[in-house]
Amino acid sequence: MLAEIVANDGLREPVIAAIDITHWEFYPSPYKDDDDVDPDDDVVIVNGEERVPKDEYPDMVSGDKDGRSYKFATLTIIGQDTPIVLRIEPVREASAWEGDASQIHSHLKADLVRRLLEQAEQHVEIHKLFADREFDAMEVRDLIDRHDITYLIPKPVYTADLDQIEKLEAHPLADVAVERAVTLSVDGRSHELSFMYVPSTEKDGTYAVFTTNRDVTPDQAIGLTAQYSCRWQIESEYKTIKHHFLPATASTDYRIRLLYFVLGVVMYNGWRLTNLLLREAPAVDLGAKPPLRAGEIVELVGFCLAPTD
């Protein structure tokens, strides 16, 4: 599939990629009802309340009492290239109902990113990688830098950032600032990164803080952080996969859920490739939207798979 996309100029290496985690909601509660609680049951404290976890609950469900889901991490090509998913990894995170044991079984984000990158780099050369705040960790930044890839990762605004933001707010002209040559050390290895303070696109009058392993000027920071908006292609991607390509299931087996999610991604990638080929074939302008809708390719696949009389 990648070879076909490259042959039709749908991908130009090195590529810009983005990693993210998507959720497949799981609604059953992990806690016993009061009528089912035995006196010798183990108790966990959740938001200051005593709760009793169920004896049997799907291991791969992550979350808390307000929301639970199966999770999958993806690495996607974004930007001007044809957006396709290159890699999927299962995600297992800490859950409130597991008590102290939750941290033992949690997958480190750096290991997750490592697996995504190692598989994706077998197929394409990546020169920029975008991630959201879920991947705000020193180990993740160190790992990406080891791969000689430029990263762009936002971070929460901490007290230490407020001084720089206050200076920006007081400046009569500037609305972007960069703190350069900040050293980050992990396991005896160091690299320099830049903190970029830019106007937030989420809330007017506030600032967002991004980190990158490039040495950038304020003008360069504006351009680099503007590219981050390409990451929103992933949100559209997830909506399309879940709405059109993800089979419905009530299975609690994560292997079934993962299989269905992979099938949904394969269908999504096929839809993207089909639209790329359709655009290359005719000599007329087909417009900005995909000429073949997601629902239409599902119908076509269903027609091809339908048994004949």
Q: How far apart are CA 277 and CA 271, in angstroms?
A: 10
Q: Please, which pLDDT band fits residue 104 given cuts at 50, 70 and 90?
A: very low
Most confident of 22-36, 197-211, 257-271: 257-271
Only one residue has tokens 């999958």, namely: 72
Give 231's DSSP letter: G
Helix (H, G, I), strand (E, B) or coil at 273: helix
pLDDT of residue 185: 95
Mean pLDDT over 2-28 rounds to: 82
Coil, strand or helix at 178: strand
Indicate if the alpha-carbon torsion angle 53, 58, 60, 62 is positive or negative.
negative
Residue 67 token pair? 């929301």
Domain map (residue ranges) of the chain: 2-305
pLDDT recorded at residue 240: 92
**DSSP state, 288?**
S
Report the DSSP beta bridge partners of residue 71.
23, 91
Percentages helix, strand, coil for the chain (3-state, rounded to 5) are: 40, 25, 35
> What mean pLDDT is predicted for residues 132-147?
94
Please spell the DSSP secondary structure of 192-226, one letter per residue.
EEEEEEEE-SSSTT-EEEEEESS---HHHHHHHHH
pTM, entire model: 0.84
Record: fold of 2-305: Transposase Inhibitor Protein From Tn5; Chain A, domain 1 (3.90.350)
Judge contact between 16 and 230, C-beta under 8 A.
yes
What pLDDT, on the 0 to 100 scale, is given for residue 107? 45
Work out the pLDDT band at 73, boundaries 50, 70, 90.
Answer: very high
Q: How confident is the model at residue 106 (pLDDT cuts 50, 70, 90)?
A: very low
Mean of all residue pLDDT scores within the chain: 84
Collapsing DSSP to helix, strand or coil, 83 comes out as: coil
Predicted pLDDT of residue 154: 94
Q: What percent of the chain is modeled with pLDDT above 90? A: 45
**Of 18-32, 87-101, 140-154, 158-172, the least confident:** 87-101
